[in-house]
Amino acid sequence: MKKSEIKFGVVVVITFAVIGAAVSLIFGRFIDFGSSKTIETSAQKTKPIGGTVSFSPPLLQDAPAEIKDAVMLGYNIMMNTQKYAAGYVGNKLNCTNCHFNGGITEGGRNGGLSLVGVAATYPRYRKGQNYSEDIVTRTNDCFERSMNGKPLPSYSKEMTAIVTYYQWISNGLPIYANIPWLGIEYIKSTHTPNPANGKQIFAQNCAVCHGNNGQGTQVVPPLWGNDSFNDGAGMDKLKDIAAFTLNNMPMTNPKLTDEDALDVAAFIINQPRPHFAAKKK
C-alpha cells in the first residue's frame, strides 16, 4: 500500500468513528441498551429531557466580564424594582417579594418562587393564550399584573438585563430540562375555603407584619389595597396564594395547615385591589 492510501484509510476510519459516536450520542437516549428492543412510548416522547438536574446556580460575581453589568442590573431590578424599573411599576412591590432573593432559591419551603432555570424552560406553552409564550412576554405578565405596571419594551436596557440575569442563573441547566423546583405545587386538600375563618387566621398570623389592613410597612409588602398586585395577578388566584402561603408564610416560619392556608387565601383575595384592565377571566 502506498503512504497516501494508508493516510486515506485512516481518515475514513476516523470519519466513521466520529459519525458513529455522534449518532449514538444523539440517539442513545432513546435506546435502551439493556434490552434487545428499542422502546419509545408516547409517554417518553412528551417527557421533558434532561433527566435529574441539581440546584447549583453560579455566583453573580462569576458572570463573564462582558455580561456582568447586565447580570447585576437584572439582579438590582429584581431586588429593588421600585428604583431600577421605576416608571414600569404601579404598586409598592418588588419582584423579590414573591421571587425571594431575586429568584435565586430552590423554591419550596421558605424559598418563594424560584427563577433558577427559567431561561432553559421558555418559550413555554401558556394555557391563557393556547400557544407558547417567551420569557420576555412572561416577565411582562408580572410587570402588568403582579406589579400593576406597564410592560417593559423588549429592546430596553432593563428587559435585556433581566433576560441576561435569567440566562446566567440558569447556566448549566439543559434546555427544556424538567426542573423540579420551578412552579408552584398546589395544595391537594378538598377543603372548601372559608374566608370568615381566614380573617381570624390573618389577624393571628399575618397582621403583625402586613398590617391590620393588609397595607404593609416600609419593610413588609402590602397584600391588598392600591399598593398591591392587581386582580389579574397569579397571586390573586386562590390556589397560587394558598400554596405560596403554606410554603412561605408567616415569613421564615411557615406553619399553617392546608385548610388554614386556603382560608386565609380566600380572605385575602376577597379584599379590594387594583383592577387589571385587560383581564380575560
Residues that bind ligand HEC (CB under 6 A): 81, 93, 95-100, 113, 115, 118, 138-139, 142-143, 146-147, 162, 182-184, 205-206, 208-210, 220-223, 229, 233-235, 240-241, 244-245, 249-251, 256, 264
Q: How far is the CB of 43 from ligand HEC (least distance, A)?
A: 23
- 58 or 215, CB closer to ligand HEC? 215
Contact indicator for 173, 179 with CB cutoff of 8 Å: yes
Distance CA 69, CA 72 (A): 5
> CB of 40: closest distance to ligand HEC in angstroms?
28
Least distance CB 170 / ligand HEC (angstroms): 11
DSSP bridge pairs for 124: 133
Asked whether the beta carbons of 88 and 158 are under 8 A apart, the reply is yes
Least Å from the CB of residue 73 to ligand HEC:
12
Q: Which is nearer to ligand HEC, 108 or 183 (CB)?
A: 183
Q: How far is the CB of 60 from ligand HEC (least distance, A)?
A: 16
CB of 96 to ligand HEC, least distance (A): 5
Instruction: Give the residue with the Cβ less far from ligand HEC, 2 or 127.
Output: 127
Cβ of residue 110: shortest distance to ligand HEC, in angstroms? 10
Q: Which is nearer to ligand HEC, 172 or 180 (CB)?
A: 180
Cα angle 261-266-268, degrees, rounded to a multiple of 5: 95
* Identity of the residue, 7 or 110, whose beta carbon is nearer to ligand HEC in the bound complex: 110
List, in sequence order, the alpha helices (H) in 80-220.
81-84, 118-121, 135-141, 157-169, 195-205, 207-210
CA–CA dist 107, 248 (Å, integer): 10
Contact 165, 67 (CB under 8 A): no
Dihedral angle sign, alpha carbons of residues 229, 78, 126, 243: negative
CB of 63 or CB of 152, closer to ligand HEC: 152
Q: Which CB sits closer to ligand HEC, 63 or 98? A: 98
For cell 412561605, name the residue: 248
Measured distance CA(195)–CA(260) in Å, rounded: 10
Q: How far apart are CA 246 and CA 184, in angstroms?
A: 11
SS3 sequence of 135-171: HHHHHHHHHHHHCCCCCCCCCCHHHHHHHHHHHHHCC
- In the complex, minimum distance from the CB of residue 55 to ligand HEC, in angstroms, rounded to a whole number: 14
Shorter beta-carbon distance to ligand HEC: residue 63 or 146? 146
